Amino acid sequence: MKKVLILIYFISLISLIYANSQKEESNALSSSIKITPEIKKKYPLKHSHNKLSLDCIFCHVGQGVNPENFEAVDEDKCLFCHKSKIYLAKRLEFMDTLKANPHNSVHDGPNLYCDECHREHKPSVNMCSECHLKEIKNNIWMKDTP
């Protein structure tokens, strides 16, 4: 039992050291990125992400320090915070009765890529509305995509 406790202690200690080194690296990179008002205007954050004070490298980690050169992120970055596609589908499960759950669509299930609807630096789109305009107009389905 004592050996297990010692092992858990060392694993916790190594995890803490690693987390601190990652945070220091993130802070160092964040401070080297020049976020000008022009950059903020060109690449606005969604309200919810802005409210959390997320900086560029939170999503664009490993892409350098020039926001002009950042590339779109993989959905793994989205799901790092938003958990999983199954989790998101379950959150909107109440919409399944109308077959209107965008995270568990009757066409694609929970397999859509996040950026098919959600955009970070420009307005998102409601891909469902491309075909189901009538349902959107009648307020059966959600309107704006966050």
* 12-69: pLDDT as tens digits: 555 445 444 544 555 555 668 888 999 999 999 999 999 999 989 999 999 999 999 9
The whole domain housing 13 covers 1-71
| Residues 128 and 67 grouped into a single domain | no
| Residues 67 and 83 grouped into a single domain | no
| Residues 64 and 84 grouped into a single domain | no
In angstroms, the CA 118 to CA 105 distance is 15
Amino acid at 6: I
Show which of 26, 41, 71 is a domain's final residue. 71
pTM above 0.85, yes or no: no
Asked if 142 and 102 touch (Cβ cutoff 8 Å), the reply is yes
Please give the tally of structural domains in the chain: 2
| Residues 88 and 55 grouped into a single domain | no
Q: Of 144, 143, 145, 140, which is closest to residue 100 (Cα–Cα)?
A: 140
